[in-house]
Structure 1
Amino acid sequence: MNGHIIGVDIGTSLTKAVVFDRSGISIAEACTPSEVHHLAGGLVEQDLEQVLGTVATVVREVRGQLEGPVAALALTGQGDGVWLRDADGAPVRPAISWLDGRANSLLAKWQAEGVTREVFRRTASGLFPGSAAAILSYLDKHEPESLDRAAVAGYCVDAVLQRLTGEITVDVSDASLPFLNPATRRYDEVAIEACGLTHRRHLLADPARPRTVFRLDARGAELLGLQTGLPVTAGPFDLPACAIGAGVSRVGDGILTAGTTLACQVLTDSPEFDPDGEPAGMFLCTPRDGEFLRAMPAMVGTASLDWACGVLGIEVNQVSPLLAESSPGAGGVRVLPFLSTSGERAPFVDAAARAQFSGLSLESTRADMIRALCEGIAYAARHCFEAAGLSGTLYACGGGVRSAEWTQIFADVLGRPIVLPGEPGVGARGAVLVAGEALGEPFDAELWAANSRTVEVRPENAALYQRGYDDYQAALAAAREQWRL
């Protein structure tokens, strides 16, 4: 390939750009924060213009680090939520994040009326307050003028793509939730009708074929400082992109992404599921026909740890030392880690889900509280992977696994070795690998995945964490009987 592919991962709170050589080693990288606006009433919004500015910043920065031409741009980023735009790609209102909780009561109503069950049976995806179905239905009732002004109701990655190329489309992975039938890769009209959105059907862009190549237009070229006509790929979004970038390739393999979302995914070759099971999680279409990711993206990720650090008056870089100060079991402190204002979405959906700390005494320390929270999140990961059907190799990425102590907790609680990719920007890696295939010059994915290390399980903790997980499940079952909006 004559030139470099710039991989851009547009996360919720951070946008990253990474360039890799042919062996998968990063040779240039840049990152910059995005603004996330947490408003009263559980509202969480972002400004598309500010997010576009972060993309321009990181692309221009890595371009300045490179020798030789740029061959393509590969986009990935956060999924879910609703990014409303007009025909020119301008936002008609602030983007509503997947973290948003304005539709909490609506979701509870849908659960009581059987709407979520009906959609799950048709799409294999569980609805939650930050999903497009709930947000669009909420806006249709409370802010219809925004939907009237919009030409498309999409997601972060396709919103950025539209501004860079002028194209209105969506990747099949983003479209997988909430209305796509994963077996046919087409929208299910009955599911749309069940959510009362048939009259807004025109806002849903048709999914592009996997590995579709777009072209940078004059407006996009000026924004990024790149040449007009540069090839651009957009997708899959960050969850499947991380799976591809980490090396997930065999049925049964899984990946744990310990980021803002605690995303647990398992590769499968069949979209079959129990229609009478818990209506949660989602089947994500991948770039390969006949391959899917059974995803359980819980809401209990690193944002919970950030909250705890703020409350306890500690810096994030103190987490690993504190984890080492408290022994496994956290001195008897236990946590149900459901701190998100929009509740939980996997492996169960409950907008009223809330956190609990128990077992505290005058002898409990900050280290015990931090370790109990990290152990509680690890128990949530085990719950998710049991629901998703993990049976093969487990990979991991995200800010949480930068902590060796927390990664060890994950391995011990899950009872599985964890493979950690040796390079940063796993989501961007996945996007670049897909772009290479789309451009007809694929990279050696096995070579890229080989640069990794493995965290082994400490068997001496197995019995303790099995009891801890049993206690977690019992406490969760009791709590679910009490949660109310």
Structure 2
Amino acid sequence: MIVGVDVGTSVTKAQLIARDGRTTPAHEARSTLYTLPGNRVEQDMDEVIGTVVTVVRAAVADAALLGSDEPIEALALTGQGDGLWLRDADGRPVGRALSWMDGRAAPVLDRWTADGTVRAVHRRTGAGMFPGAAGPLLAHLAEHEPDRLAAAHTAGYCVDTIAQRFTGERTVDASDASVPFLDVASRSYDEEALEACGLGRWRHLLADPAPPGTLYGLLPKVAAELGLPAGLPVSAGPFDIPACGFGSGLTRAGQGHLIIGTTLACQVLSDDPGPASREEPAGMVLATPYADRYLRVMPAMIGTAGLDWLLGMLGVRIEELDALLAQSPYGAGGVTALPFLSTSGERAPFVDARARGRLDGLSPLTGRADLVRALCEAVAYSARHCLETLGVDGDVTACGGGARSGEWGRIFAGVLGRDVHVREDAVGIRGAAKVAWDALGRAADVQDAAPRVARADTDAVAFYEEGYRRYLETLERARETW
């Protein structure tokens, strides 16, 4: 068995997973997300690590539930990516962690966009940037809090922060390190990209990426706290987006994957380390635990958060979503939407902090079902826009809270013009466990059941083909007015 841990933005989960794919129930613990003036979003590192200890201890106690005499073979970590988690030489926090949702570096990004820095870095590493990425955040601190950077030994991320505290190792997974300064083909930092951002003097803060298959040993004191044996192998990554991809079954170049969560992460497995977008400096290309395999990713800011806002405005419970969607026909009675409802704008498949949502085609005949369906269709159009930009050429799988809706799944299938294979159970943890078992050299099937399939209806595919063309035209006009 493996203890899998997924450290989300505000919820940490852990459960046991057996080599045949069976799992114990997930244990959860919440951490605080501090939303502060100046578009700052922060987390307390010690609190986050405390949530990991809590859920791991609870998961370990469930071993008998799997009815197996298999030992616990490893602790597999995954979690949120991006942001900036500054630590001293002992792995202790240097101030609170800066979340990937943090917006304080938006002026830096505006400057870099205007002077060509964003495009220069994108040409070298294939990584687009947004305010909550490590590059802009480092530059902001270098300008406004240089003493904080001077006090730090490591500028890392969530997963490697936990790994350092648990194992004593200063490390980073190549997936986390990929954005924005890594040459993913060589797995080494591009010094010219660092210099282009004015960050060459802070290169020493970046830990070199761990080679594929690296495992660490659990420190005795931490092991006792977790209820695990000292020296137990610890796998530290990949972060949550690639972990969900591998946990959903990505194995062949061209396959696509959607995480329909608070935000919408779209990714395609590729044997090409080139940029995610050839036209705009958006998206990212990630190194993976597997040789000559890369993930081209568009982490859009839209997703279930915008839907939750609309449902709240309309006084509709999420449990009513499927019934409401079924009440409105394809095309939502003539209502269309642009789904950009994040205060941070959009970052994929284009970057624009000014991007905003809209609803068009309203009339006295418009009902709540039409408004909700129009937004759900718009999110699906954006997913197609992202996947086509990434070069999808194969099956598409999906996971996340939005994927639980059967009606929304059918909208995605119609818009994408292909069946969507939905995985709903512990996908990130399954991906982290797969990587750990691969590193241990032991075969394991992390899937315990066939996916649910959202079918692409022929009539829907034909209708949405024209709807997608109109969506792109509307988007292009809107971008000139934001």
Q: Is the Cα contact below 8 Å between 1:10 and 1:76 reproduced in 2?
A: yes
Secondary structure of 1:91's partner?
Answer: coil
Q: Distance in 1 between matches of 2:48 and 2:144?
A: 26
Q: Distance in 2 between matches of 1:276 and 1:5?
A: 40
Letter in 1 for 2:35: H
Please give the per-residue CA displacement for 1:289-323, whole angstroms capped at 9, x wherever unaligned.
11101111111122222222333333322322222
Q: Distance in 1 between matches of 2:207 and 2:315?
A: 45
| Worse overlay, 175-184 or 145-154 | 145-154
For residue 131 of structure 2, the aligned residue among 105, 129, 132 is 129
Letter in 2 for 1:58: V
For residue 23 of structure 2, the aligned residue among 2, 5, 26 is 26
Task: Give unmatched runs, 5+ long, in structure 1.
Answer: none
The aligned residue for residue 105 of structure 1 is 107
Secondary structure of 2:209's partner?
Answer: coil
The aligned residue for residue 43 of structure 2 is 46
Letter in 2 for 1:19: L
The aligned residue for residue 216 of structure 1 is 218
Secondary structure of 1:45's partner?
Answer: strand
The aligned residue for residue 393 of structure 2 is 391
Please give the per-residue CA displacement for 1:192-233, whole angstroms capped at 9, x wherever unaligned.
011111111111111001121111113422442323222110
The aligned residue for residue 57 of structure 1 is 54
1:419 to partner: Cα distance: 1.1
The aligned residue for residue 86 of structure 2 is 84
Is 1:460 matched up with 2:459? yes
Q: Is the Cα contact below 8 Å between 2:76 and 2:236 reproduced in 1?
A: yes
1:170-209 matches, cutoff 5 A: 170-209=172-211
For residue 251 of structure 1, the aligned residue among 237, 253, 272 is 253
Letter in 1 for 2:139: S
For residue 8 of structure 1, the aligned residue among 5, 10, 29 is 5
Is 1:475 matched up with 2:469? no
Change (3 A) 1:129 1:302: same
1:235-246 matches, cutoff 5 A: 235-246=237-248
Q: Is the Cα contact below 8 Å between 1:80 and 1:130 reproduced in 2?
A: yes
Letter in 1 for 2:450: N
Q: Distance in 1 between matches of 2:262 and 2:221?
A: 32
Secondary structure of 2:337's partner?
Answer: strand
Change (3 A) 1:174 1:221: same
1:451 to partner: Cα distance: 2.5
CA RMSD of aligned residues (A): 1.8
The aligned residue for residue 139 of structure 1 is 141
1:449 to partner: Cα distance: 7.4
1:388-467 matches, cutoff 5 A: 388-421=390-423, 424-444=425-445, 448=447, 451-467=450-466
Change (3 A) 1:40 1:463: farther
- The two structures have a TM-score, normalised by structure 2, of 0.95
1:310-349 matches, cutoff 5 A: 310-349=312-351
Letter in 2 for 1:456: R
Q: Distance in 1 between matches of 2:277 and 2:239?
A: 26
Q: Is the Cα contact below 8 Å between 2:181 and 2:190 reproduced in 1?
A: yes
- The two structures have a TM-score, normalised by structure 1, of 0.94
1:129-168 matches, cutoff 5 A: 129-168=131-170
| Worse overlay, 124-133 or 266-275 | 266-275
Is 1:279 matched up with 2:281? yes
Secondary structure of 1:116's partner?
Answer: helix
Q: Is the Cα contact below 8 Å between 1:163 and 1:219 reproduced in 2?
A: no
1:275 to partner: Cα distance: 8.3
| Worse overlay, 161-170 or 383-392 | 161-170
1:161 to partner: Cα distance: 1.0
| Worse overlay, 21-30 or 101-110 | 21-30
Secondary structure of 1:466's partner?
Answer: helix
Q: Distance in 2 between matches of 1:138 and 1:287?
A: 31
1:122 to partner: Cα distance: 0.4
1:450 to partner: Cα distance: 6.1
Q: Is the Cα contact below 8 Å between 1:121 and 1:276 reproduced in 2?
A: no
Q: Is the Cα contact below 8 Å between 1:259 and 1:398 reproduced in 2?
A: yes
1:339 to partner: Cα distance: 1.6
The aligned residue for residue 32 of structure 2 is 35
Q: Is the Cα contact below 8 Å between 1:17 and 1:58 reproduced in 2?
A: yes
Q: Distance in 1 between matches of 2:278 and 2:307?
A: 34
Is 1:299 matched up with 2:301? yes
Q: Distance in 1 between matches of 2:198 and 2:323?
A: 51
1:63 to partner: Cα distance: 1.5
| Worse overlay, 317-326 or 256-265 | 317-326
Please give the per-residue CA displacement for 1:341-387, whole angstroms capped at 9, x wherever unaligned.
22211111112212222222333222222222111111110000010
Q: Is the Cα contact below 8 Å between 1:279 and 1:349 reproduced in 2?
A: yes
Q: Distance in 1 between matches of 2:358 and 2:146?
A: 37
Please give the per-residue CA displacement for 1:418-459, whole angstroms capped at 9, x wherever unaligned.
1123x61111101101111111222146xx376223221011
| Worse overlay, 41-50 or 82-91 | 41-50
Q: Distance in 2 between matches of 1:455 and 1:47?
A: 40
Task: Give unmatched runs, 5+ long, in structure 2.
Answer: none
Letter in 2 for 1:455: A
Q: Percent identity?
A: 55
For residue 377 of structure 1, the aligned residue among 376, 379, 383 is 379
Please give the per-residue CA displacement for 1:104-125, whole angstroms capped at 9, x wherever unaligned.
2221221111001100010011
Change (3 A) 1:375 1:274: closer
Letter in 1 for 2:30: P
Q: Distance in 1 between matches of 2:362 and 2:87?
A: 48
Q: Is the Cα contact below 8 Å between 2:167 and 2:216 reproduced in 1?
A: yes
Change (3 A) 1:402 1:32: farther
Change (3 A) 1:366 1:144: farther
Q: Is the Cα contact below 8 Å between 1:108 and 1:350 reproduced in 2?
A: no
Letter in 1 for 2:407: E
Q: Is the Cα contact below 8 Å between 1:10 and 1:55 reproduced in 2?
A: yes
Secondary structure of 1:395's partner?
Answer: strand
Q: Is the Cα contact below 8 Å between 2:277 and 2:283 reproduced in 1?
A: no
Please give the per-residue CA displacement for 1:21-44, whole angstroms capped at 9, x wherever unaligned.
222122342223333233333322
Q: Distance in 2 between matches of 1:213 and 1:276?
A: 35
How many positions carry a matched residue from both structures?
477
Q: Is the Cα contact below 8 Å between 1:20 and 1:28 reproduced in 2?
A: no
The aligned residue for residue 269 of structure 2 is 267
Secondary structure of 2:235's partner?
Answer: strand
